[in-house]
A and B are shown apart, each in its own frame.
Chain A
């Protein structure tokens, strides 16, 4: 069973001048057999360090890493039965693709040559690189090199795949193609995979679960939709989703939230969740705001369009709250996404509707989620009749 458990894993780097840097701070995640877990977070959050600790390339300062039921803290990288794909592919430049892929089996097993050859050619077939077997890495394109790196990991038939931003060096089109292919391969092979990226789109589309890290600490571990609709704190809410969630500082006044530019009425349900708190952060996702040209409902606000970014399938509309009929430059802007067919122009006054069931509220001091979007209205597409 290839269950990978990280138990309060900590990594402290000591610099030459005695300074201690806590790169990873008590991260605990249980990764199930065959699961695709993505470690995501901004640069410097400790995700690569965590991955390298699982691989055995960094020592563990505190905590335990267990594979199956064995503690692997002190095991050499080669004893862990783990294969890794690096961001720079790390192919051996003086060996052909065939030799690159055979290297792992030659060094870590007693397999006979013909069996090694067979495994290499079936992995090469899976990655579509069979015609490239006699070439050297310098004769391959970036995408081909990446497939060789993947094939090299697959041929080892390990218990865990580790991937350190393998798609970062590819161009955008190739990247989205490889994303789908990687997912398919992982499902076919059913190997537990830990994947590191700073790209939240990759995290959302590829993973079974996401683990969001910031500054060495685990912020949330959950399915993509859990992290998207029910973020545990403000950081996760702002990190997941593109364009990002809009945030406003608000003060609780009676049954209202007072922000700098608007006032938001709250229902009793929401007030209950807020409890005693007085200062909050108000969050609303761009796609939850609807635009119209009139309305004066309690949750409808007068705004002016600042900038429109047309994407084709949707438009990202930057709005400012209308104060005295003009959108000054120091007015805060927030983003709304509308359908691609809805035409909006810069300078146009519109009415923005922010429904209460879609708002997120976070404690201003701790960042913890107080209220998240309710998922009552999610429609399931029933089976075809």
Chain B
């Protein structure tokens, strides 16, 4: 762009140069972010995945057979993942909220040290604790061995459900530091005088939590629920180690990792279909809770 054609107010040929550049950048970013998904979508609908360039739609007929096959392969994994993720998410949000309340709104000796420990917990990588945790569940507290007999007499309840329960506890424990931190930033802003008023009105510390703090935590719950749902649903490492690769019990991420890998070829279309299918629940959670998420983030 030659300088002579740019007028004083930034326009050139009557077009606002800055605006064009802004929108151009935005469109470029959108394309950059959405290209993998769009490619996956295109690939999953093609009969022959290499028949045209990855991001272009097929020139031949398109098929939904990949989705049907992916759904068959992933359905039990999806069910298992829901059994894992929903309780684990709700539980870790609740426990995080209670921990944050106790550390932020109640005064007691030594709470700064305890809080520091919680914060330090955020930085522990899952890989570092993988072996101890798996040993713990395999040898020290093998829940499905202990409760196996109950599973046999209860209809609908299987032994591997206890493995999933072990994973729920693990995720609640390892998600606790970040949940606590998120709630703490929210609870710090609650009015001290309001809680003192509740104490004077006769409410015990637990009652103040139940009747005052918890009802006011809505926006932050949305944030924590979305965050934890995504983390727990997408986790592969703990799912692989604690629940394993058994046909009935494996979680959807494990199932997805194995999808389409036969000895003869890598079914790329099938894998794409599976990936999109697996991403759907998280996407729906964002859609439903997204507005409250944005509200909660801004507090």
Interface residues of chain A, those whose CB is within 8 Å of chain B, are: 55-57, 77-78, 82-84, 86-88, 90-94, 103-104, 107-109, 152, 156
Interface residue tally for chain B (C-beta within 8 Å):
17
A343 to chain B: closest CB distance in Å?
Answer: 49
Using an 8 Å CB-CB cutoff, how does the interface string of B196-213 with A read, 1 for contact, 0 for none? 111111111001000110
A88–B196 alpha-carbon span in the complex (Å):
12
Residues of A close to B212: CB separation below 8 A: 92, 94
Prevailing SS type, chain B contact patch: helix
Question: A107, B202: Cβ atoms under 8 Å?
Answer: yes
Q: List 21 A-B contacts (CB under 8 A).
A: A57-B196, A77-B199, A78-B200, A83-B200, A84-B197, A84-B200, A86-B193, A87-B193, A88-B193, A92-B194, A94-B212, A103-B201, A104-B200, A104-B201, A107-B201, A107-B202, A107-B207, A107-B211, A108-B202, A152-B197, A152-B201
Question: B202, A104: Cβ atoms under 8 Å?
Answer: yes
B23 to chain A: closest CB distance in Å?
Answer: 39
Whether a CB of chain A sits under 8 angstroms from the CB of B297 is: no
Q: A88-B193, A103-B211 are in contact. Are A55 and B200 (CB under 8 A)?
A: yes
A156–B203 alpha-carbon span in the complex (Å):
13
Residues of A close to B204: CB separation below 8 A: 78
A179–B193 alpha-carbon span in the complex (Å):
22
Question: A93, B216: Cβ atoms under 8 Å?
Answer: yes
A109–B197 alpha-carbon span in the complex (Å):
16
Whether a CB of chain A sits under 8 angstroms from the CB of B154 is: no
A366–B202 alpha-carbon span in the complex (Å):
45
- Nearest neighbor of B192 in chain A, beta-carbon distance: A90
In the complex, which of the residues B200, B203, B211, B212 has the most CB atoms of chain A within 10 Å of its own CB atom? B200
Residues of A close to B211: CB separation below 8 A: 103, 107
A101 to chain B: closest CB distance in Å?
Answer: 10
Residues of A close to B197: CB separation below 8 A: 84, 86, 90-92, 152
Residues of A close to B207: CB separation below 8 A: 107
Question: A78, B202: Cβ atoms under 8 Å?
Answer: yes
- Nearest neighbor of A57 in chain B, beta-carbon distance: B196
A90–B203 alpha-carbon span in the complex (Å):
15
A109–B203 alpha-carbon span in the complex (Å):
11
Question: B194, A90: Cβ atoms under 8 Å?
Answer: yes
Interface residues of chain B, those whose CB is within 8 Å of chain A, are: 191, 193-194, 196-204, 207, 211-212, 215-216
In the complex, which of the residues A55, A87, A94 has the most CB atoms of chain B within 10 Å of its own CB atom? A94
Question: A94, B215: Cβ atoms under 8 Å?
Answer: yes
Residues of A close to B200: CB separation below 8 A: 55-57, 77-78, 82-84, 104
Residues of B close to A107: CB separation below 8 A: 198, 201-203, 207, 211
A87–B215 alpha-carbon span in the complex (Å):
23
B193 to chain A: closest CB distance in Å?
Answer: 4
B218 to chain A: closest CB distance in Å?
Answer: 9
Residues of A close to B191: CB separation below 8 A: 88, 90
A103–B199 alpha-carbon span in the complex (Å):
11
Residues of B close to A87: CB separation below 8 A: 193
Residues of A close to B198: CB separation below 8 A: 92, 103, 107
Residues of A close to B201: CB separation below 8 A: 78, 103-104, 107-108, 152, 156
A143–B197 alpha-carbon span in the complex (Å):
19
Residues of B close to A104: CB separation below 8 A: 200-202
- Nearest neighbor of A107 in chain B, beta-carbon distance: B202
B168 to chain A: closest CB distance in Å?
Answer: 30
Question: A90, B193: Cβ atoms under 8 Å?
Answer: yes
B109 to chain A: closest CB distance in Å?
Answer: 12
Question: B196, A91: Cβ atoms under 8 Å?
Answer: no
A309–B203 alpha-carbon span in the complex (Å):
52
B146 to chain A: closest CB distance in Å?
Answer: 41
- Nearest neighbor of A91 in chain B, beta-carbon distance: B194
A57–B107 alpha-carbon span in the complex (Å):
11
